[in-house]
Amino acid sequence: MHLTVIGCGYLGAVHAAAMAECGHDVLGVDVDPDKIAALSAGQAPFHEPFLDALLAQHTASRRLRFTTSYQEAAAFGEIHFLCVGTPQRTDSDAADTTYLDAAVDALTTHLGGGPALIVGKSTVPVGTAQRIAQRLPAGAELAWNPEFLREGFAVEDTLTPDRLVLGVESQNAEMMLRAVYEAAIDAGTPVVIADFATAELIKTAANAFLATKISFINAMAEVCEAADGDVTVLARGIGYDERIGSRFLRPGVGFGGGCLPKDIRAFAARATELGTGQSLEFLAHIDAINLRRRQRVVNLARQLCDGSLAGKRVAVLGAAFKPDSDDIRDSPALDVAARIHAEDAEVTVHDPRAMDNARKSHPQLNYAANPRAAAEDAHLLLHLTEWPEFARIDPATLPVAARTVIDGRGGLDPARWRAAGWTYQTLGRS
């Protein structure tokens, strides 16, 4: 099939490459000429495992191409996936859907009345699909097919998803999407057919549930800190109950990224618009618990530095919002680093992949090429993104001024660090 993918960021670039891997002819479209140039050369403009290999293979075979031209896109495909951003608005918690509207307008201008299936994948406030569908020209139809991929596992999640959600209003749309995803469906992926509103809600409900699970365990961490308990053991103790499950129960500095934080805020804002704000009031608490974890690290850091961070040297391991990504959107690690810097500490950050992005967004921080260099003469070490290489660091060899570490992600081995003479402190223990 001939597909276009409109918006080639973290979602769209992966979707485009994965669709080519599934055997489709794909044209990726973006308004950013630099991104299009990199992608056309077979290079991912961000770090995502396995993406470079897919891009290189399929751009070389010409099954995957990229353009900034909507005219070319309209002429190329029978199916157009919308993958543009829907960030938090600057003036409220609601989602900014203007990029989506601009993409739909740019595409439909060039469709010329021919048949087309436009498929939304971006995460949107419920009601957006209906609104867009009403503006489409004759011949064009809408479907909504939300995406559940995780960064760091994006290629795998796209090729072998847990489920496919198809928000459709016609059999034709359903059949076309089933054909697009034939490989995954033949491999047994469950398909959920839904109306537009339910498809949109499944996505925001999934992210709200995941955020709730993380904030739940972090609320337990707060109680453990007050009651002399150990949240890591608590998480194990409840996680063995299959109804609860151990996944997404990792306590620590909390969730960040370009999705969970903005999606729970937008979901609550939309519920308020719909007159059912009370139903999602709890999401404000989920958000607040999450943000309190960041300040908890700062408070702990200050305490471990004898009551003041001013003039102290603090090494931060991690800048990305999670490992195996260079995405620093709403990164807890950088937020904590910036808060500590604001208390007049000298902060040096190391991250295996995210330092270029971090340098641009947080120029006030220092950056070091490796953990050893970051740790040089530090009074305090913070572990804030659990890259596997950080767990392999030999604590005995770090050239610090004081052997004190806060493990904000719980990924370091306390016994190993303590054996090397470190004061090891994690979150969720008194």
Active site residues: 259
Contact 255, 261 (CB under 8 A): yes
Q: Which does 30 bind (CB under 5 to 8 A by kind): ligand UGA, ligand NAI, none?
A: ligand NAI
Given 5, 8, 119, 283, the residue binding ligand NAI (CB under 6 A)? 8
How far from 11 is each of 39, 148, 185, 326, 357, CA to CA, in Å?
A: 13, 10, 20, 14, 18
Q: Which one of ligand NAI, ligand UGA, none is in contact with 321 (Cβ closer than 5 to 8 A by kind)? A: ligand UGA
Report the partner that residue 340 touches, choosing among ligand NAI, ligand UGA, none (CB closer than 5 to 8 A by kind).
none
- Closest to ligand NAI by CB, 24 vs 35, is 35
Structure tokens at 379: 């009074």
Tell me if 10 sits within 8 A of 327, measured CB to CB.
Answer: yes
Shortest spacing between CB 140 and ligand NAI, in angstroms = 16
* 324 lies in the binding site for ligand NAI (CB under 6 A): no
Partner whose binding site includes residue 408, from ligand NAI, ligand UGA, none (CB under 5 to 8 Å by kind): none
CA dihedral 360, 361, 362, 368 (to 10 degrees): -50
Helices and strands in the chain, H and E counts: 18, 14
Using CB under 6 A, pick the residue from 322, 341, 353, 403 that binds ligand UGA.
322
Judged by CB under 6 A, which of 254, 318, 352, 428 binds ligand UGA? 254
Residues numbered 108 to 167 that lie near ligand NAI (CB under 6 A) are: 122-123, 147, 149, 151
Q: Find out whether 331 and 357 touch, Cβ atoms under 8 Å.
A: no
In the complex, least distance from residue 310 CB atom to ligand NAI, rounded to whole angstroms: 37
Number of residues that bind ligand UGA (CB under 6 A): 21
Please tell me the distance from the alpha carbon of residue 70 to that of residue 74, in angstroms, as a whole number.
Answer: 6
For 217-230, letters b (16+ CB in 10 Å) and e give bbbbbbebbeeebb
Q: How many CA atoms lie within 13 A of 360 on its CB side?
A: 7
Q: How far is the CB of 93 from ligand UGA (least distance, A)?
A: 16
Nearby residues of 139 by Cβ (< 8 Å), 6 or more positions away: 111, 113, 114, 115, 116
Of the residues 123, 145, 232, 426, which one makes contact with ligand UGA according to CB under 6 A: 123
Q: Of 25-33, 56-64, 217-225, 235-243, which part binds ligand NAI (CB under 6 A)? A: 25-33
Site string for ligand NAI, 256-275 (x = CB under 6 A): --xx----------------
First to last CA, the chain: 58
Contact of 51 with 155, CB cutoff 8 Å: yes
Residue of 76, 144, 196, 255 that binds ligand UGA (CB under 6 A): 255
Residue nearer to ligand NAI on the CB measure, 102 or 175: 102
> How far apart are the C-alpha atoms of 391 and 411, rounded to whole Å?
6
CA distances from 246 to 178, 208, 209, 250, 286 (A): 33, 17, 14, 8, 19
Say how far residue 4 (Cα) sits from the centre of its chain: 23
| Residue 291 touching ligand NAI (CB under 6 A) | no
Beta carbons of 200 and 167 less than 8 angstroms apart: yes
Task: Point out which residues bind ligand UGA (CB under 6 A).
Answer: 123, 147-151, 207, 210, 214, 248-250, 252, 254-257, 259-260, 321-322
> Which spans of this chain sit near ligand NAI (rule: CB under 6 A)?
6-12, 29-32, 35, 83-86, 99, 102-103, 106, 122-123, 147, 149, 151, 258-259
